[in-house]
Amino acid sequence: MGWQKKILRVNLTEGTCISEPLDMGWANEYLGQRGLATKYLVEEVDPKVDPLSPENKLIFATGPLTGTPASTGARYSVITKGALTGAIACSNSGGYFGAELKFAGWDMIIFEGCAEKPVYLYINDDQAELLPADDLWGKSVWETDEILHRVHQDPQLRISAIGRAGEKGVLYACIVNDLHRAAGRSGVGAVMGSKNLKAVAVRGTKGVRVADPERFLKVVAEKKQVLAENAVTGQGLPAYGTQVLMNVINELGALPTRNARDVQFEGASRISGEAMHEPRGSEQKPNLVTNQACFGCTIACGRISRIDKGHYTVVNRPEYWGASGGLEYENAWSLGADCGVEDLDALTWANFVCNEQGLDPISFGATLAAAMELYETGVITDEDTGGIALKFGSAEALTSMVQQVANGEGFGRELALGSRRLCEKYGHPELSMTVKGQEFPAYDPRGIQGMGLTYATSNRGACHLRSYTVSSEVLGIPEKTDPLVTDGKPALVKAFQDVTATVDASGLCLFSTFAWSLEDIQPQIDAACEGDWSLDRLLEMGERIWNLERQFNIAAGFTGKDDRLPKRLVSEPVKSGPAKGLVNQLDKMLPEYYQLRGWDEGGVPREETLERLGL
């Protein structure tokens, strides 16, 4: 158990909702969530399909530990072919929606086809129906959430929705649940919008059963104690959140600044986790109101923030005066350092709008940063921008553009393309800080070498959450490695990739691994699920998932030539900090990585590798 053993197949073209048994043969090979949903996608979708066509499918998937008492068991993922990348997309979110879906008795929902008119899916335990969403179309995520709670008169309804960005086909639109948790990357919201699907509203009352309740509760209690006693998960993350990294990475000289022209930002401390604790502005209150946990989480790293009422972004806009989802490190970096903006309230407001309208702040900020560089070099002009000066450091440019992108207005329509397409359109593809079309996040691979290989080989395009070697190279978890060298990094990246795939497949949060190793997670899976879930089996499964994703991408047309970094990162030496003079040495790492993976020189899995993994 752990699984509900039931999936909901929703055909939007025909308007049907059909219950199907979960394929337990596949569940035994791929566990759940990221792994199992990828298996369904690979089996059912032609990898060459247009991501925004009805032939693409959109899968909301939980893991066997989602909705159980296991700490951090809140996660669900959205799996599809990504609108931004054309590669496999798997965007993971917390909050309460995933657990609620599980409580309603479903492991996953598979959306196929395209609705003729806007609809939303309403699930009340076994009952599932598509309802008209004409009145919701054009509304924000926040308005949709409020209206659906009112319509269904159920305060415990959990809602996952797209905002205007997803409706308008912004290529990095995300799907937001519980107002400010997001399946953020690769444009999964654009795929949802292309299907005329506005929202999923779910209420579940069934709970989740596990295979060995007594053993499960005992091991879960033990492992919660590990999280509580660990200084990172017990103290550091709840107090400062991910944003504590701003000063660390800046000090380290690996904070991509002004579209990665620099690696240290003079305003870093003013937009850091520490700054969120400082009284400021007209009210002399701190930005941070409190921390917040997702379902079942005993870490509680989430940030709840408010904007100073005297700040220009919210004067006469009381709808933004309340507390809402605050800055995570990646967002503070993309909206802040990467655009050279050091106004904490402006960043917080832009982040609010990203949540409200369903935009991925990483891709939005990084795309704006590329546009700022194009503007400063005279390629983009005031005529293009409607007179808005896209200068690095301009908070006004940031807050104007986030609105324009969300509303599909003005130069926002260009920024909605994402960095790669924007830079290609203006004749400077080399200024796009992307891999496989996706903007890379807040770690410069010239100062943290392993992250270069991480970005280059990530199956969903540049991403830190596919193998977070920062943990080892910067923080010393599980053991310290030197961020400036390449030796040992291929093996490190592969190990992180495989373990991460397993953690994602379980329904637990990756952040648990700051304290837990797979040895801590394995007994929780083993007690919850039928069968013998040994450590070796789980590790092999992670590798299987990685290769299955890779195969999807190869069939979609990607090759080893797409395992590349932006030219700047491999040819422009860093100007300051410990990495001064260095570029990323991807060429030194990639061949060894392919070899360790059992792939040929072109990055294609060898026959014996596929056979060993049962692919």
Partner 1 sequence: MPVTFKLYASLMVYLPPEAKRHAVTLEVPEGTAPIQLLERYGVPLADVHLLLVNGVFLPPSQRHRPLEAGDTLAVWPAVAGG
Per-position x/- string for 189-228, each x denoting binding to partner 1 as judged by CB under 8 A, each - no binding: ----------------------------------------
> How distant, in Å, are the alpha carbons of 36, 245, 298, 593 from that of 517?
22, 22, 17, 23
Which of 20/482 has CB closer to partner 1?
482
Distance of CA 220 to the CA centre of its chain: 26
CB 390, CB 379: distance < 8 Å: no
Please select the residue that binds partner 1; options are 213, 310, 476, 591, rule is CB under 8 A.
Answer: 476
Q: Which CB sits closer to partner 1, 172 or 468? A: 468
Element holding 160 (H helix, E strand)? strand 158-161
Q: Is residue 468 within the footprint of partner 1 (CB under 8 A)? A: yes
Report the C-alpha gap between 195 and 339 in whole angstroms: 33
Q: Is 477 in the site for partner 1 (CB under 8 A)?
A: yes
Going by the DSSP 8-state scheme, the letter that residue 198 receives in this structure is E
Q: Which of 62, 66, 230, 287 binds partner 1 (CB under 8 A)?
A: 230
Q: How far is the CB of 447 from partner 1 (least distance, A)?
A: 9
**Residue from 7, 162, 297, 465 binding partner 1 (CB under 8 A):** 465
Query: Of all helices (H) and strands (E), which one includes residue 129?
Result: strand 127-132
Size of the site for partner 1 (CB under 8 A): 41
Helix, coil or strand: residue 369: helix
In the set 245, 350, 374, 495, which binds partner 1 (CB under 8 A)?
245
Site for partner 1 in 554-613 (CB under 8 A): 577-578
Which span (3-11, 197-205, 303-311, 462-470) binds partner 1, by CB under 8 A? 462-470
The 8 Å CB, 24+ separation contacts for 554-561 are: 554/604, 555/47, 555/48, 556/47, 556/48, 556/81, 556/86, 556/87, 556/88, 557/47, 557/48, 557/86, 558/87, 558/436, 559/602, 559/603, 559/604, 560/594, 560/601, 560/602, 560/603, 560/604
Using the rule CB under 8 A, is 252 a contact of partner 1? yes
Residue 325-344 contact track with partner 1, rule CB under 8 A, x = bound: ---xxx--------------
Residues 6+ apart with CB under 8 A from 294: 72, 74, 75, 94, 95, 96, 181, 302, 509
| Binding residue for partner 1, selected from 9, 464, 550, 597, defined by CB under 8 A | 464
Residue among 218, 480, 575, 606 that touches partner 1 (CB under 8 A):
480
Residue from 66, 91, 144, 243 binding partner 1 (CB under 8 A): 243
What is the phi-psi region of residue 286: left when phi exceeds 0, alpha when psi lies from -120 to 50, beta otherwise? beta
User: What is the largest distance, in Å, between two alpha-carbon atoms of the chain?
Assistant: 68
The reply on whether position 124 binds partner 1 by CB under 8 A is no
**Residue 458 C-beta: closest distance to partner 1, Å:** 14
- What's the closest the beta carbon of residue 444 comes to partner 1, in angstroms? 12
Out of 242, 404, 547, 551, the residue judged to bind partner 1 by CB under 8 A: 242
Q: Which is nearer to partner 1, 375 or 443 (CB)?
A: 443
Q: Does 298 bind partner 1 (CB under 8 A)?
A: no
Q: Which long-range contacts link 279-285 to residues 24+ away (Cβ below 8 Å)?
A: 280/308, 280/344, 280/345, 281/308, 281/310, 281/311, 281/345, 282/308, 282/309, 282/310, 282/311, 283/308, 283/309, 283/310
Minimal distance, residue 510 CB to partner 1, in Å: 7
- Site membership for partner 1, residue 251 (CB under 8 A): yes
Query: Interface with partner 1 by CB under 8 A: which residues?
Result: 230-232, 235-237, 239-245, 247-248, 251-253, 269, 273-274, 328-330, 464-465, 468, 470-471, 474-477, 480, 482-483, 510-511, 514, 577-578
